């Protein structure tokens, strides 16, 4: 019977580890595709600068001259970064959640670009007159289709990268579409209840002793270590800007998942110490 109990405990610890890895993988995709991570990735990878430079130079008549430099400066403003952050975040989430998303709306792009012109003028680097503003707005409108195509291509790469994340964590997801149903609020709630249920089962199998909580903590910390490793490695170094962008997204998501697991594991260990001390005190009082 004791051997059977040990086998059951060992099996439950493995199942708990897998369940936590899957749950944390879902959270990593969620966090990694959020606006904060997307903005971080846009800034660190310089992908917008590369994409806009290519698009701008194909549209402006003065290829390497003042207009091209002005356009690039405007595209790098906070107003345009905010615009690209919202668009890319929504696009990546649409890929993850398997839903359609709208391409860049030209009128929204032009509104953001207009704010960007105001920011450039306020900084004093250029003094863009109303007539020149109108000309640059025309260039921005012509650039929109190229920007859309380039950004969509980059976001499509996220599917392969995100699949790799899930496989690294739990060896269960074969594609983003396979784990898309897990991303709903209801599915997350069910997964969390399953994890709590397995932890409770380990506690009762241990005879309601602290050892059962320690087993849960060990599985949780191990899941955190897996995501900690992923947060450290990412998808590998590359000179390709798009892969650098994806690397930041994946590292950000994995880092948050690792932190959640690490904190939860430490709290469980502390709780196990409290339970053990209480049990020891109760046993002493009985004597």
Coarse DSSP helix, strand, coil percentages of the chain, rounded to the nearest 5 percent: 85, 0, 15
Cβ count within 10 A of residue 146: 16
What is this structure's pTM?
A: 0.75
pLDDT on residue 61: 46
Cβ–Cβ < 8 Å for 58, 146: yes
Compute the distance between CA of residue 150 and CA of residue 50 in angstroms, rounded to an integer: 10
Name the nearest CA neighbour of 23 among 206, 164, 223.
Answer: 223
Compute the distance between CA of residue 116 and CA of residue 112 in angstroms, rounded to an integer: 6
Name the nearest CA neighbour of 84 among 75, 71, 96.
Answer: 75
Name the nearest CA neighbour of 121 among 74, 169, 180, 173.
Answer: 74
- Rounded to the nearest 5°, which phi and psi values hold at 63? -50, -55
pLDDT on residue 90: 83
Cβ–Cβ < 8 Å for 253, 165: yes
DSSP assignment of 252-264: HHHHHHHHHHHHH
The whole-number mean pLDDT for each consecutive block of 10 residues of the chain, a chain of 287 residues, reads 80 92 87 86 78 64 60 86 86 75 79 92 87 86 79 66 46 44 75 93 88 93 92 74 81 92 94 86 61
């Amino acid at each position: 019977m004791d051997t059977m109990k040990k086998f059951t405990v060992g099996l439950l610890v493995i199942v708990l580890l897998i369940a936590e890895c899957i749950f944390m993988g879902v959270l990593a995709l969620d966090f990694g595709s959020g606006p904060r991570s997307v903005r971080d990735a846009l800034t660190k990878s310089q992908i917008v600068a590369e994409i806009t430079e290519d698009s701008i130079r194909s549209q402006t008549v003065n290829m390497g001259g003042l207009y091209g430099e002005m356009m690039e400066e405007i595209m790098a403003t906070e107003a345009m970064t905010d615009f690209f952050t919202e668009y890319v975040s929504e696009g990546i989430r649409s890929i993850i959640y398997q839903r359609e998303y709208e391409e860049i709306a030209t009128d929204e792009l032009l509104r953001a670009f207009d704010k960007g012109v105001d920011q450039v003028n306020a900084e004093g680097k250029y003094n863009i007159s109303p007539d020149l503003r109108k000309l640059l707005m025309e260039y921005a409108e012509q650039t929109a289709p190229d920007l859309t195509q380039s950004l969509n291509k980059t976001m499509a790469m996220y599917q392969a990268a995100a699949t790799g994340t899930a496989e690294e964590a739990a060896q269960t997801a074969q594609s983003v579409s396979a784990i898309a149903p897990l991303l709903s609020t209801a599915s997350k709630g069910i997964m969390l209840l399953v994890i709590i249920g397995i932890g409770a089962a380990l506690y009762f199998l241990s005879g309601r002793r602290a050892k059962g909580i320690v087993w849960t903590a060990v599985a949780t910390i191990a899941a955190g270590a897996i995501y900690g490793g992923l947060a450290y490695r990412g998808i590998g170094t590359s000179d390709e800007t798009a892969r650098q962008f994806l690397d930041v997204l994946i590292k950000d998501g994995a880092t948050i998942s690792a932190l959640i697991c690490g904190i939860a594991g430490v709290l469980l260990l502390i709780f196990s110490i409290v339970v053990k001390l209480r049990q020891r005190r109760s046993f002493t009082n009985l004597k």
